[in-house]
């Protein structure tokens, strides 16, 4: 579990940032854009009229060339290099947005996993597809975006062979297995956390633990299908039970009872089409078929326990993040 993309803002005050080691990429009416060239670039935006700079990019990609995993020591290495080159203390900067997530091996194809993660109440849902293949979903609110997607596909298509071999050697990644990425995009941290979030605080052990718990809670809010248990007997899987299995799956998502829905439908059919005896006969068949279908308490596609295990593992191996500040006053935006 780790941070990924981040945007850091900092008032420079009387300090003059050093841009000599950066590549100047563009000039705008009120800003300049520079970049550090690591494994992947980090953008540095300078706003001289208001004495402010912004750092934008992924520290894991900058340092390692991938975001499979990055430790807080990786972050310290990357941030110390950037702030050392600029001649500024970035740890007193505030965070405008950031991502936090985890990559998890799963025992089923990513498309099946995604298909059975439906929605979060009160959040807009979107799908991502490559042709007919479902590759990701996201759930949006004004302050946060929860994204789940096929991480294995991303690695195979976006990372060169050398990086793929490295994450296989270091972390046990295997091309043939299935991996999903779950990540929270904090679009407005000050709104979500009810106050400005500063870089030094974000990297603290306490805040990292909070982000881990938040990620688990946000994942558990996703309504999931995959609760219906397929009958074991071939005779019980027929044209009558298959539609009922789908309806039982959707009960928890759309808040209805299959039995009541079907009973109301039969009641609405005119007696000129179905007599009372016909309705009773059909209701008897429906009841017999419904008895063949059972549901479990949770979806077979729910990986909450895997995420909990990863949180426990991270807690056992956690080490404090140490940085040396200059004792300067933090200027809030």
For residues 58 and 198, membership in a common domain is answered with yes
Average pLDDT score over residue span 140-148: 95
Q: Is the pLDDT of residue 322 over 60?
A: no
> What is the CA 250 to chain-centroid distance, rounded?
24
**Residues 76-113 pLDDT 10s:** 999 999 999 999 999 999 999 999 999 999 999 999 99
Q: With bands split at pLDDT 50, 70 and 90, how would you rate the model's confidence at 329? A: very low
Q: Is the pLDDT of residue 331 over 70?
A: no
Domain interval for residue 276:
228-295
For residues 196 and 76, membership in a common domain is answered with yes
Q: What is the pLDDT of residue 321?
A: 54
For residues 9 and 32, membership in a common domain is answered with yes
Number of domains in the chain: 2
For residues 121 and 249, membership in a common domain is answered with no
- Extended strands (E) in the chain: 2-11, 23-28, 31-37, 41-47, 52-58, 94-106, 117-119, 124-130, 133-140, 144-150, 178-186, 223-224, 228-229, 294-295
Q: What is the pLDDT of residue 221?
A: 94
For residues 210 and 174, membership in a common domain is answered with yes
Q: What is the pLDDT of residue 200?
A: 94
User: Of the candidates 241, 242, 250, which has an alpha carbon nearest to the alpha carbon of residue 291?
Assistant: 241
For residues 205 and 312, membership in a common domain is answered with yes
**Range scoring the smallest mean pLDDT among 25-34, 89-98, 249-258, 281-290:** 249-258
Asked, for residue 322, whether it belongs to a domain, the answer is no
Asked, for residue 218, whether it belongs to a domain, the answer is yes
For residues 211 and 273, membership in a common domain is answered with no
Q: What is the pLDDT of residue 255?
A: 72
- 21 backbone φψ class: left, alpha, beta (φ>0; ψ -120 to 50): alpha
**Residues 103-140 pLDDT 10s:** 999 999 999 999 999 999 899 999 999 999 999 999 99
For residues 99 and 148, membership in a common domain is answered with yes
- Strand 178-186 vs strand 223-224: parallel, antiparallel, or unpaired? unpaired
């Amino acid at each position: 579990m780790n941070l990924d993309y981040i945007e850091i803002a900092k008032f420079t005050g009387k300090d003059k940032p050093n841009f000599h080691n950066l590549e100047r990429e563009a000039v705008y009416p009120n800003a300049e854009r520079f970049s550090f060239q690591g494994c992947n670039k980090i953008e540095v935006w300078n706003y001289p009229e208001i004495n402010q700079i912004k750092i934008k990019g992924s520290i894991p990609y900058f340092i390692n060339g991938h975001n499979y995993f990055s430790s807080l020591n990786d972050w310290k290495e990357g941030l110390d290099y950037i702030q050392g080159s600029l001649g500024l203390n970035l740890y007193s900067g505030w965070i405008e947005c950031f991502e936090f997530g985890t990559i998890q091996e799963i025992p089923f194809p990513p498309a099946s996993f995604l298909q059975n993660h439906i929605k979060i109440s009160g959040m807009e849902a979107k799908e991502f597809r490559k042709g007919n293949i479902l590759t990701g979903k996201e759930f949006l609110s004004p302050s946060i975006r929860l994204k789940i997607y096929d991480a294995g596909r991303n690695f195979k298509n976006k990372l060169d062979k050398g990086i793929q071999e490295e994450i296989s050697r270091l972390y046990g990644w295997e091309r043939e297995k299935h991996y999903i990425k779950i990540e929270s995009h904090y679009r407005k941290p000050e709104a979500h956390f009810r106050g400005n979030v500063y870089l030094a605080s974000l990297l603290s052990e306490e805040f990292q633990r909070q982000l881990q718990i938040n990620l688990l809670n946000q994942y558990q809010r996703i309504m999931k299908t995959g609760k219906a248990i397929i009958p074991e007997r071939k005779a019980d899987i027929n044209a009558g039970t298959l539609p009922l299995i789908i309806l039982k799956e959707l009960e928890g998502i759309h808040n209805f009872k299959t039995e009541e829905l079907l009973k109301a439908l039969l009641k609405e059919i005119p007696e000129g089409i179905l007599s009372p005896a016909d309705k009773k006969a059909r209701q008897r068949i429906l009841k017999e078929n419904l008895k063949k279908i059972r549901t479990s308490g949770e979806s077979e596609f729910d990986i909450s326990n895997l995420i909990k295990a990863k949180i426990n593992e991270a807690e056992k191996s956690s080490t404090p993040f140490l940085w040396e500040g200059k004792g300067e006053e933090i200027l809030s935006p």
